Chain A
Amino acid sequence: MFPKPIENTNILTQSFYKTALPVVLIIWLLPLIAVALTSVRSGGDLISGNYWGWPTSFDLFENYTSVFKNTPLAQYMWNSFRVTIPTVLGAVALSCMTGFALAVYNFKGNLLIFFLFIAGNFVPFQILMVPVRDLSVQMGVYNSVWALILFHIAFQAGFCTLFMRNFIKALPRELIEAARVEGVNEFQIFWYIVIPLMKPAIAALSVLIFTFIWNDYFWATVLTQGVDSQPVTAGLYSLNGQWISQWHLVSAGSIVAALPPVVMFFTMQKHFIAGLTLGAVK
């Protein structure tokens, strides 16, 4: 374990570390605290320029309930889940396969295809807007969560393939060779040997993709309209009006909307602590 495990140092260092943790955290999260503070202010405060001072009134309850009353936030959050979860499943599944193919097999065009995935992922998505919209219309999925799911799975396949391929490349080859010698077929190698070793990467990648898709605003506005299919990002900004932006409400909504990815990270964390690879080598 690097750096040196804190339990092995003296008491002074240990207590220093234990106090440093919350202090650093608070400094680090100051902007977030500012968002939370804004979410309990009244609109009048913001218009008079009171961004950082003591709020003139604590509208915690009003703002947070207002957000659920003025917009169908619950429906938007549900739409976000309907888009994000299938996307994560699809993207991770596809990229496990593509990453496996590119990492394990040497074939002509391996590097070229890998290059393709990386390059496509660098693309600024504005360049894709009109063709993807037209494609979604032709496929009949425009203005439904499927338009977003299909697009995101396809687009994230680039990044995910990169991630998985690198991870798999670093796994010990001996296992796979040994399995082949024993006559195990390729799919079984994939399913029974490689996938279990990839658990930490799958967990990490799922969290990342979940966050990206959850926070996507651009494609939500392009491919969906109306409360049946719009995710929370686009729905949240409906709190901002034509002239006056209700930042106190948007802040409240943003905090609520940010909770799922954080919870997800928290629950997936234990998978990161794996020493699974080591076990397999031995």
Chain B
Amino acid sequence: MNFKLKTSLASVATIALMASTAFAGTLVINTDTSDPAPKAAFEELIKDFEAENSDITIKWNLFDHEGYKTSIRNFLTADAPDVANWYAGNRMLPYVNAGLFEAVDDVWDSAGLNDTLASASASMTIDGKKWGVPYTYYNWGVYYRKDIFENLGIDVPKTWDDFKAAGATLNANGVTPITIGSKYLWTAGGVFDYLNLRTNGYDFHMALTKGEVAWTDDRVKATFSNWKELVDAGFFLENHAALSWQEALAPMVQGDAAMYVMGNFAVAPLREAGLSDDQLGFFQFPQIDPSIDMAEEAPTDTMHIPANAKNKADAKKFLAFLGRADVQTKINARLGQLPINKNSSVSDDKFLQAGMSMLSSTTGGIAQFFDRDAPAEMAQAGMEGFQEFMVKPERLDAILKRLEKVRDRVYK
């Protein structure tokens, strides 16, 4: 979708005068924000930016979300825009390594982002340089059917034992404790991340995803043995390998399942399917080892400047704009997510507030999600292994051996 938003007549004349700097004044932005809420959020963002910068016209190319993942590989070399959105952590790595993204340390320095966006600083840094500006993130945790819990007299579980007991009660009453759809493997990655973060802590999890620890290590096996307890106790929805995460919402809506280890984006569709805020609740994933600080997952979305961009000067202005507290407040209110900027305010929704307070009080660190913390090939092999483990836990040794083989290759 092209949004050729008009500039005033004066700026048109100015642009004509600046004919030698042919691309100054036009900013090309590519995004994959094709959902209704993000689309509206970006429309506002662009309008606001143009209002403050009347000498800049924005040309916005909106791609469909899946197609973008292919298109980005082509347009960064073939027909680069000035700004493009993408994700933090190891998702940026292939493009940084290929020299297709522009380092933006100057923007971070001049706009004071090292201070205001500190919580996402680590995930935006590779080789000591900053490669984009983050503008939103969302929390993960356990979304659950409050009404079912109340009916069965279950309290919100805080410890591992509480959690297992809750599951036992649910099963005894014909309710599947956790719904999950592992057809698109990332959902299994979320469960692994939490179990690993709770069993072994943030530092270990980072070391594992960086390839510094073997998959056959005893500590990894400890995570899997905790997971096995859940699998053996019948915690997970039957036949989840055939379901996408969205299709797995249905049992929870119907009351056949009570919990979902998922990101905050699950709330909107659950509400759309008819669940009220009395029926829907949120709690932090329970603690397993009391000696380990609780870490959380909060994947971050970002915007970058391609190295082949034509109008980097204005692109940098745009990124600085994006990093501002008021801008982040506004865009996140539309997105229904959380701002990175520590001075931004969060909208009133009870789930966002819960997520925000959880993330800002976390002592254990914030992970980006398995497929952003681990490099691409390792991530895929890992998640496939997790899915297989959940259905065939007896194959754990073979799975771990296979993951070791991949680790050997990938982290050379």
Contact = CB atoms under 8 A, between A and B. Distances in A.
Q: Find out whether A and B make contact in their complex, taking CB atoms under 8 A apart as touching.
A: yes
Interface stretch (A94-102, A111-119, A148-156, A225-233): A225-233
B313 interface: no
Interface of B: 1-2, 30, 32-36, 38, 61-67, 70-71, 74-75, 78-79, 244-247, 249-251, 253-254, 265-266, 268-270, 272-274
Nearest to B263: A243
B273 A48 contact: yes
A226 B34 CA distance: 12
Contact of A222 (B74, B246, B266, B269): B74
A143 B79 contact: yes
Contacts of B79: 137, 142-143, 225
Interface in A223-265: 225-228, 234-235, 237-245
A48 B78 contact: no
Contacts of B61: 225-226
17 contacts: A43-B269, A44-B272, A48-B253, A48-B274, A49-B247, A137-B79, A225-B63, A225-B79, A227-B2, A237-B64, A238-B62, A240-B65, A242-B32, A243-B246, A244-B265, A244-B269, A245-B246
Contact of B253 (A47, A225, A243): A47
Contacts of B71: 221-222, 225
A72 interface: yes
Contact of A47 (B38, B74, B246): B246
A227 B251 CA distance: 38
B115 to A, nearest CB: 30
Contacts of A70: 36
B70 A221 contact: yes
Nearest to B270: A47
Given A44-B274, A48-B274, A133-B78, A243 B35 contact: yes
A98 B208 CA distance: 59
B75 A49 contact: no
Interface of A: 43-44, 47-49, 70-72, 133, 137, 142-143, 221-222, 225-228, 234-235, 237-245
Contacts of B34: 238-242
Given A241-B34, A242-B35, A244-B269, 10 more contacts: A44-B272, A47-B253, A49-B247, A49-B251, A70-B36, A137-B78, A137-B79, A143-B79, A222-B71, A243-B266
Nearest to A49: B250
Pick the most buried of B70, B254, B273: most chain A CB atoms within 10 A of its CB: B273
B1 A240 contact: no
Contacts of B270: 47
Given A221-B67, A237-B66, A238-B63, A47 B273 contact: yes
A237 B265 contact: no
A82 to B, nearest CB: 16
Nearest to A220: B67
B274 A242 contact: no
Closest 10 CB pairs of A and B: A49-B250, A238-B64, A241-B35, A47-B273, A48-B253, A221-B67, A243-B265, A226-B61, A242-B65, A48-B273
B75 A47 contact: no
A227 B67 contact: no
Nearest to B77: A137
Nearest to A233: B67
Nearest to A142: B78
Contacts of B78: 133, 137, 142-143
Contacts of A44: 272-274
Contact of A241 (B65, B75, B272): B65
Given A47-B269, A47-B273, A48-B274, A240 B249 contact: no
B272 A227 contact: no
Contact of B35 (A47, A143, A234, A244): A244
A45 to B, nearest CB: 8
Pick the most buried of A43, A227, A242: most chain B CB atoms within 10 A of its CB: A242
A244 B265 CA distance: 9
A239 B36 CA distance: 9
B2 A226 contact: yes
Pick the most buried of B33, B62, B251: most chain A CB atoms within 10 A of its CB: B62
A150 B30 CA distance: 26
A72 B245 CA distance: 28
B75 A225 contact: yes
B64 A234 contact: yes
A244 B267 CA distance: 11
Nearest to B272: A44
A43 B272 contact: yes
